[in-house]
Amino acid sequence: MAATPETVKRLRGRGCSVWLERQAGLRSGYADEAYAEAGAELFHGEGPEAAERWAEADVVLAVQTPGAPGAEAAAAGLEALRPEALLLGLLNPHGDHSLIERLERQRLSAVALELLPRISRAQAMDVLSSQANIAGYKAVLLAAAALDRFFPMLMTAAGTVQPARVVVLGAGVAGLQAVATARRLGALVKVSDVRPAAREQVESLGARFIEPPRLEESPGEVGGYAREAGAVFLEAQRQLLAPHLAEADVVITTAQVPGRPAPLLITREMLGLLRPGAVVVDLAVGQGGNCAGSRSDATVDVDGVTVIGAGNLPASLPQHASALYARNLAALLEVLIQEGELRLDPEDPLLDPCLLSHAGVCRRDDLRPARSGQEVAA
C-alpha cells in the first residue's frame, strides 16, 4: 500500500485531500475505518465515482504503475488522469518499455522511485532500502525454515551442535540485513561484495569479508552502486567463492547492478559443490538471478540443494512493507508540496534523476527502448 492511516494524517496536515480506494489496505492490515478516521475519503474502485476521482487527482501514489502486470485493476484509472497529474511509484523504468511513450501521450509527470538519488537528503524517501531491508530479513527466515539443521550453536545433552554457515553474496541493503538476521540466529556468516567500502560494514556486523579478486579490471563503484563486472572478473570471483560454497549450509544471493542483469555468481557446476540439504535463496532472481536454475517465486531441488527464487519478498510482510513504503512517499511529498501547492523543480538534485517526465516532457531519453537498426534506418 502506498498510504497508511499514519501517512494519510501527515498528508492531511499538509493541507492535502486524500482519496483512497475502499478495502485497498485490507491485505496490508489496514481497515477502511482507520483510514477514514485519519481523514481519508473512501471511494469504490470501479464505476463513475472511481473515474471521477482519478480524473480530479493532482497526485497518484502507487506501488507499481497502474495497469502494469500485477496492477491491472487500475488501468482505466491511469487513462483517466488529467494532463500534468503526477504519478509517484516504483514504475520499473528500465523494464517497462511503454512507460515514457505513455507519459508523453497523456502529458503526465512521473517520479520513478527506483531512480531517487542515494544522497543523505533522500534517505527518508529511499524505497529501495526500505523494501530491500525486508527482503534480506525474510530471505534468512525462508532459508532457516527450509534448512535441515539448526542455525545457532547449541550445547545439548547429546553433545554440541555447531552453528550453521551462511554465505551472503552482495552486501547492499538486503545483504547487510541478511547478515544481521543470520547473526541474530547464531550463524557464522561470510560475505562477498565487489565494492571495497562493503568490508567495514560487513565486519561491523560480526561477519567475515571475502576479498574480491585483485585484478586491474575491477568493477568498483559509482554513486554507491557496483559497476557491472566483466567476464574475466566474474570468472575469477566464482573461483574465489567456490571453497566457501563448499562449506556453506545456506547461501543468500543479493548481488545486483542497477539497470543491468544480475551477475551469475553460482553456476550449475558450482551448485554441485554445495552439500545435499543446503539452501540457496536468490533475491536477484527478478534480474536474471545470481544462481543458475533459480526461478522466480519457485523452489527447485537441484541434486538435493534447495534453490528458492525469491522474487518479491516485501509482499510477504505487507504490513511493514506498506508502513515503510508509505512513509517514504510521504517524506517525498512533504518536499514537493510547498505552501499547499505541488511544486516540481526539475533542477532539484533530488528530482533530477528520478523525474521521468514533467507535464509530458520526457527528461530521461536514455530510458526509451533502444531502436532496432531497421527502425533507425527507416
Query: Catalytic residue positions?
Result: 118, 123, 126, 129, 225
Distance CA(331)–CA(244), nearest Å, equals 41
Q: Do 271 and 300 contact (CB within 8 A), yes or no? A: no
- Shortest CB 123 distance to ligand NAD, Å: 4
The pattern of x and - marking residues 261 through 280 that bind ligand NAD according to CB under 6 A reads --x-x---------------
Total residues at interface with ligand NAD (CB under 6 A): 31
Q: Which is nearer to ligand NAD, 68 or 198 (CB)?
A: 198
Which window, 63-71, 167-175, 305-313, 327-335, contacts ligand NAD (CB under 6 A)? 167-175
Q: Residue 107 burial by CB count (10 A; 0-12/13-18/19+): exposed, middle or buried?
A: middle
Q: Pick from 65, 106, 254, 357 the residue near ligand NAD by CB under 6 A.
A: 254
- Shortest CB 105 distance to ligand NAD, Å: 31
Q: Pick from 40, 68, 167, 171 the residue near ligand NAD by CB under 6 A.
A: 171
Strand partners, 89: 112
- Shortest CB 23 distance to ligand NAD, Å: 33
Distance CA(128)–CA(287), nearest Å, equals 15
Binders in 198-227 for ligand NAD, by CB under 6 A = 198, 224-226
Which window, 20-28, 91-99, 164-172, 202-210, contacts ligand NAD (CB under 6 A)? 164-172
Is position 194 an interface residue for ligand NAD (rule: CB under 6 A)? yes
Q: Pick from 3, 110, 252, 255 the residue near ligand NAD by CB under 6 A.
A: 255
Residues 6+ apart with CB under 8 A from 340: 14, 15
Binders in 103-132 for ligand NAD, by CB under 6 A = 118, 122-123, 126, 128-129, 132
- Shortest CB 168 distance to ligand NAD, Å: 9
Alpha helices (runs of H) in the chain, residue ranges in sequence order: 5-13, 32-38, 48-56, 75-80, 99-106, 127-146, 173-184, 198-204, 231-247, 268-271, 318-336, 373-377
Instruction: Give how far Cα 349 sits from Cα of 115, 261, 346, 362, Å.
Output: 12, 27, 8, 17
Is position 256 an interface residue for ligand NAD (rule: CB under 6 A)? yes
- Shortest CB 159 distance to ligand NAD, Å: 36
Is position 282 an interface residue for ligand NAD (rule: CB under 6 A)? no
Is position 253 an interface residue for ligand NAD (rule: CB under 6 A)? no
Is position 89 an interface residue for ligand NAD (rule: CB under 6 A)? no
Residues 6+ apart with CB under 8 A from 299: 146, 306, 307, 308, 309
User: Which residue's CB atom is positioned nearest to ligand NAD?
Assistant: 172
Is position 192 an interface residue for ligand NAD (rule: CB under 6 A)? yes
Is position 258 an interface residue for ligand NAD (rule: CB under 6 A)? yes
Question: Long-range contacts made by residues 56-60, C-beta under 8 angstroms, separation at least 24?
Answer: 56/82, 57/19, 57/81, 57/82, 57/85, 58/85, 58/86, 58/342, 59/16, 59/85, 59/86, 59/87, 59/88, 59/333, 59/342, 60/85, 60/86, 60/87, 60/88, 60/89
Apex CA 356: angle with CA 40 and CA 45, to 5°?
Answer: 30
Footprint on this chain of ligand NAD (rule: CB under 6 A):
118, 122-123, 126, 128-129, 132, 169-175, 192-195, 198, 224-226, 229, 237, 254-258, 263, 265
